[in-house]
């Protein structure tokens, strides 16, 4: 049995059948505080949740399920239940898109996901949280290069600066007796980076990037990475 679901409680022991939703609010740049710094602004929110259960009957024939009184069926045949999974996903819980003056755009996202898996051997709870933000600045212009016996060479160029910050947290809890929860695996990581990309006319493009990353897990401990690189692309035709 699988149905859309809105769980509640620490162990998702409460809830009701409810469809997911998603909405977007635009025109927030007209609000009193936002209109002072944003040319356009929008807000996003989305939810999806599922309940999935399976049973195995051998010497007994179960009665018919009732969608609206399903809790009675689940409690009555709990001993025949082989697996269950309940999930609650906000992706995003909060999302913002901003366009600022000077060709600057900003995107913010916060996601929260939680799931509970139960079987006769115990239960497992997974909590995931993520935060992402991206800022982009675009500059369009051109330069003139004097070339002997040719004249001025006009090069139109576009330069993009992109800065991002991401943070992810994940924690797993387990319980064999379905009462006392113990922390299993966990991981935390964050990274930030800056990339400059450019395009001179339609034949020359490239970019420079730098990224700094930190991660911490129960198995490997803390780790730090740094990454730097650049690329150049030349279009040759003939």
Give this prediction's pTM. 0.82
pLDDT in tens, 67-112: 777 778 888 888 899 999 999 999 999 999 999 998 899 999 999 9
Position 66 scores a pLDDT of: 77
Task: Tally the C-alpha atoms within 13 A of residue 155's C-alpha that lie toward its C-beta.
Answer: 15
Which residues constitute the domain of residue 71? 1-94
Position 149 scores a pLDDT of: 61
Last residue of one domain, picked from the residues 53, 75, 94: 94
pLDDT of 233 over the 90 cut: no
Count of domains for the chain: 2
Position 47 scores a pLDDT of: 98
83 found inside a domain:
yes
Backbone angles phi, psi at 30, to 5 degrees: -90, -10
pLDDT of 155 over the 80 cut: no
Cβ-proximal residues to 198 (8 Å cutoff; 6+ apart), any chain: 157, 158, 159, 160, 205, 206, 207
Q: What share of the chain is helix, strand, coil (3-state, %, to 5)?
A: 5, 70, 25
pLDDT band at 147, cuts 50/70/90?
low
Please report the sign of the dihedral spanned by the C-alpha atoms of residue 70, residue 75, residue 77, residue 80: positive
Q: Which residue did the predictor score with more confidence, 59 or 47? A: 47
60 found inside a domain:
yes
Q: Which residue did the predictor score with more confidence, 108 or 119? A: 108
């Amino acid at each position: 049995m699988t149905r859309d679901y809105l769980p509640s409680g620490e162990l998702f022991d409460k809830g009701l059948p409810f469809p997911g939703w998603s909405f977007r609010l635009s025109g927030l740049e007209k609000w009193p505080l936002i209109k002072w710094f944003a040319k356009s602004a929008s807000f996003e929110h989305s939810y999806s949740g599922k309940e999935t259960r399976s049973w195995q009957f051998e010497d007994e024939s179960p009665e018919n399920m009732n969608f609206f009184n399903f809790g009675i069926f689940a409690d009555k045949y709990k001993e025949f239940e082989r697996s269950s999974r309940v999930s609650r996903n906000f992706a995003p819980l909060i999302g913002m898109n901003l366009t600022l003056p000077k060709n600057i755009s900003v995107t913010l996202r916060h996601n929260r996901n939680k799931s509970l898996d139960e079987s006769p051997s115990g239960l497992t709870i997974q909590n995931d949280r993520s935060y992402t933000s991206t800022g982009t600045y675009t500059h369009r212009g051109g330069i003139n290069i004097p070339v002997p016996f040719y004249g001025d060479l006009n090069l139109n160029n576009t330069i993009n600066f992109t800065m991002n910050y991401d943070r992810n947290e994940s924690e797993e809890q387990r319980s064999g007796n379905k009462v006392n929860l113990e922390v299993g695996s966990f991981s935390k990581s964050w990274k930030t980076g800056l990339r400059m990309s450019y395009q001179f006319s339609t034949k020359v493009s490239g970019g420079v990037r730098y990224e700094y990353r930190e991660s911490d897990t129960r198995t490997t401990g803390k780790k730090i990475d740094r990454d730097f690189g650049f690329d150049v692309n030349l279009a040759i035709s003939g």
